[in-house]
Amino acid sequence: MHKDFREDAADAAARVLDTNWTGRYTVPATGLYPHQWSWDSAFVAIGTRHRNPRRARAELVSLLEAQWDDGRVPQIVYDLDRGDDYAPGPDFWAGVRGAPRPASGLVQPPLHAWSAWLVHCADPAGSTAEGFLHRVYPRLVRWHAYLHDRRAGAAGLPVIKHPWESGTDNSPLWDVALERVPPRARTPIRRPDLQHAGTGERPGARDYRRYYRLAETYRDAGCADDVAIGFAMVCPLFCSVLAVAELALGRVAATLSAVDGGATESDPGGHVAAAARLVAALDSHLWDDELGLYVALDDTTGEPVGRATVNGLVPLLLAAAPTPALAPGRAERLVATLTGPGFLGGGRYLPSTSRLDPAFDPALYWRGPAWFNMTWLLRRAVWALGRHDLAARLDEQTTLAVPERFPEYVDPDTGAGRGTRQFSWSAALSLDALL
Ligand code: 9WN
């Protein structure tokens, strides 16, 4: 990419992040998503750290201040002034105990420790002066403990209790399990989202009835995790991100022990061991040899979900980690799948669902479009493996960001922007890729 283009694009990305910054956190998009979202803030901080590391730290601190008593970090922290602009809103979750702020009872993929480590590394002096790692470490430990203990599924991997928790809401990975959920909810369903994105680009009414029903059932059980609500899935993206986050937390712990001589109780080895356990379980339970990637597992039935999605490629992030690494041969198979006809070999950009899957739809949200966060995750993975040719290929999506006005996602063949525009993580991760 030409230097002037890179600088102009980075400036444009930074402007989106400035516009979406509220003073405490960054909204994913001003119209469609007017609150704080959990994994969005983690991605946003990764981009913001380059231009404004103090703000990146504030982003993560504000999210972690909404951590529940039981350790969970909520999917959404609501801005009560914008209560009606997104549904379900704060009223839906009101009355559930344990949340210090109005928030959803669900969670999202646990990218935060990794983000915190990257944010620290961008400005170690400022971070140390603010005591950033000291502030976030205990909260991140409790967050991971919540997932390991309260969300433990039969395979020794954490389960998600709702498709929203995967961050990839209408991925075909959840279709069969979702079919079992009655498509009826007591709460009237409002769709303010459809004012900001086309109906063909958002989950449909049938999905929403089930999303609400599941969320209601979970809420009415007090968001207790020992109550079966009819949906408990193991997601390869969620689990591999947790393993990467544990490795990052190990680095945070080692840094804290070095700076304060062990005054902060931290356990580098424990985090690496937790990552190793996750990777071993992922390798034994989620690998699909025919599809050449990792798949989801239905914790209720014990059945694997043999669908090829980008979620199943994300464990490639663990292939280059010094320890633990994926089982022998898996990295090569994942790269072959990534470059094969279902993904990069079949079209220009990285689709969220394999082009060979029967549900593939280039316009419909997580069933085909190319998302900037998935492209960023895979770009990190192939770069670490020394496949700079593939990293350059994945970088091609970044060139779409400015002309398409930082779209939520793009058509995986034409690159046409889809969903909402001026979307924060598209800007943040473009900024990261451009610098
Ligand atoms: C539900 C905010 C979020 C992202 C998710 C994405 C979408 C919400 C929705 O937007 O989900 O959480 O209303 O569809 O799927 O990954 O965090 O950007």
* Chain center to CA of 254: 25
Alpha carbon 221 to its chain centroid, in Å, reads 25
Contact between residue 424 and residue 20 where contact means Cβ atoms under 8 Å apart: yes
**Sheet with 417-418, side-by-side order of all strands:** 370-371, 409-410, 417-418
Interatomic CA distance for residues 267 and 397, integer angstroms? 39
| pLDDT, the chain, mean | 96
Cα 32 to averaged position of ligand 1 atoms, centre (Å): 9
Catalytic residue among 298, 361, 408, 432: 408
- Going from the N-terminus, what domains does the chain have, and what CATH number goes with each? 3-434 (1.50.10.10)
H or E stretch at 283: helix 268-285
pTM assigned to the model: 0.98
Residue range 211-228: mean pLDDT, rounded: 97
**Protein residue with its CA nearest to atom 8 in ligand 1:** 164
Give tens-digit pLDDT for 182-205: 999 999 999 999 999 889 889 999
Poorest-pLDDT segment among 5-9, 27-31, 231-235: 5-9
Residues in contact with ligand 1 (CB, 6 Å cut-off): 28, 33, 37, 39-40, 75, 164, 167, 169, 193
Alpha-carbon span 366 to 167, nearest angstrom:
9
CB 66 within 8 A of CB 99: yes
Residue 169 known to be catalytic: yes
Per-residue DSSP letter, 172: G
Confidence of residue 252 (pLDDT cuts 50, 70, 90): very high
Q: Give CA–CA dist 108/399, Å, rounded.
A: 28
pLDDT in tens, 118-176: 999 999 999 999 999 999 999 999 999 999 999 999 999 999 999 999 999 999 999 99
Nearest atom, ligand 1, residue 166 CA: 16
Per residue in 315-344, pLDDT (tens digit) is 999 998 677 789 999 999 999 999 999 999
Q: Which of 70, 169, 175, 396 is catalytic?
A: 169
Nearest atom, ligand 1, residue 203 CA = 14
In Å, what is the CA distance from 189 to each residue of 103, 218, 336? 18, 17, 43
pLDDT for 173: 98
